[in-house]
Homo-oligomer: A and B are copies of this chain.
Amino acid sequence: MAEQRQPPTLGSTGEHAWLRRMPELLPVMAGVELGVGDDAAVVLAPDGRTVVCTDVLVEDHHFRRDWSDAADVGHRAAAANLADIAAMGARPTALLVGLAAPKDLPVAWAEALLAGMRDEAALVGAAVVGGDLAASDTLVIAVTALGDLEGRAAITRSHAKPGDLVAVAGRLGWAQAGLAVLRRGFRSPRVLVSAHRRPEVPYAAGPIAALAGATSMIDISDGLLADARHIAEASGVHIDLDPAALMPDEPLRDVSSALGVDPLDWVLGGGDDHALLATFPKGATLPLEFRPIGHVKKGEPGVTFGGLGTGDRPTGFDHFGS
């Protein structure tokens, strides 16, 4: 019998050997003066400012290796950060990834993770320009994204005004529904499972919203209610969402009864689709990517749903919450 060969792991390959592989996997792209392989990368910042954010994903909290393959995890990790850049009204330019990984992690898994990040970044013309690798009992993926404002003002959470229209670009609840399906041990409907594994983020809608005069914007990562509240609190305004505009999409309704779930909970509480929530001045022409879902009003900072309290609707995920 032939000897059973184990696939190479990070432990058997070594940190430096693995880091040397990165330049092959991660070609330099336009907008990058110096990519991976030196002490630091050099990324063009034509605007004279750099938009930057960081996000940490932890195995079994943010992803499970049995529910998503490595490329999927890479796509999701990249998407979460690229969406934050888009939510400022900026164009993403670069990603960096810090990987803390068990020694027995297969090299193939780590490479597929990087490839997934690279491919998601390529959707917006951004490149993976740097990384680090360290040994850790827990698998942790730390992603940093950079972006360029192309001369526009950054769109923050804090300038929504009473009278503004509230609008959203992208899906609501799909990824959350997909996760619910996986949690019950199912692998279909495929469209929802895919939405969890590789969210379809409306990246272009970010800069478009900025050009259309958006007064505030946020990436929906905690859920619509929670992130609307973030805008309401930062802006000192009240947001009322319109129930008629927030009917769950058909795939959510189809699967919800099988799972015994109110699909509206996914719409209001699901975050991983990375839809963009923005406010626009009354009378502004809403970009095609956005649909109206509510209004900004004077009043106590907070969020209502058809004028009513959101009661026991899900109000966002807290990784440390009780």
Q: A10-B320, A18-B320, A320-B133 are in contact. Are A140 and B100 (CB under 8 A)?
A: yes
A interface residues, tally (CB under 8 Å) = 77
Q: How far is the CA of A127 from the CA of B301 in the complex (A)?
A: 30
Q: A85-B40, A87-B40, A138-B100 are in contact. Are A54 and B144 (CB under 8 A)?
A: yes
Whole-angstrom distance from the CB of A142 to the nearest CB of chain B?
A: 3
The 8 Å CB contact of A62, one of B134, B142, B154, B156, is B134
Whole-angstrom distance from the CB of A110 to the nearest CB of chain B?
A: 11
Per-residue CB contact flags for chain A residues 160-198 toward chain B (1 = under 8 Å, else 0) read 000000000000000000000000000000000000000
Inter-chain contacts of A271 with B (CB < 8 A):
none
Inter-chain contacts of A129 with B (CB < 8 A):
52
Inter-chain contacts of A44 with B (CB < 8 A):
48-50
**Cβ of B320 and Cβ of A54 under 8 Å apart?**
no
Q: A87-B40, A103-B320 are in contact. Are A54 and B96 (CB under 8 A)?
A: yes
Inter-chain contacts of A40 with B (CB < 8 A):
51-53, 84-85, 87-88, 90, 145, 147
* A262 sits at the interface (CB 8 A): no
Q: A48-B44, A140-B136 are in contact. Are A39 and B53 (CB under 8 A)?
A: yes
Inter-chain contacts of A149 with B (CB < 8 A):
42
**Cβ of B134 and Cβ of A137 under 8 Å apart?**
no
Inter-chain contacts of A133 with B (CB < 8 A):
56, 319-320
**Cβ of B156 and Cβ of A34 under 8 Å apart?**
yes
Inter-chain contacts of A38 with B (CB < 8 A):
88, 154, 156-158, 234
The 8 Å CB contact of A137, one of B45, B137, B147, is B137
**Cβ of A132 and Cβ of B56 under 8 Å apart?**
yes
Q: How far is the CA of A131 from the CA of B96 in the complex (A)?
A: 14
Query: What residue in chain B is nearest A32 (Cβ atoms)?
Result: B49
Q: A138-B138, A319-B15 are in contact. Are A51 and B42 (CB under 8 A)?
A: yes
Q: How far is the CA of A140 from the CA of B314 in the complex (A)?
A: 29
Whole-angstrom distance from the CB of A304 to the nearest CB of chain B?
A: 20
Q: A39-B88, A88-B38 are in contact. Are A136 and B134 (CB under 8 A)?
A: no
- Given contacts A41-B53, A45-B47, list 5 more A-B pairs with CB under 8 A: A14-B320, A15-B320, A18-B320, A43-B51, A52-B130
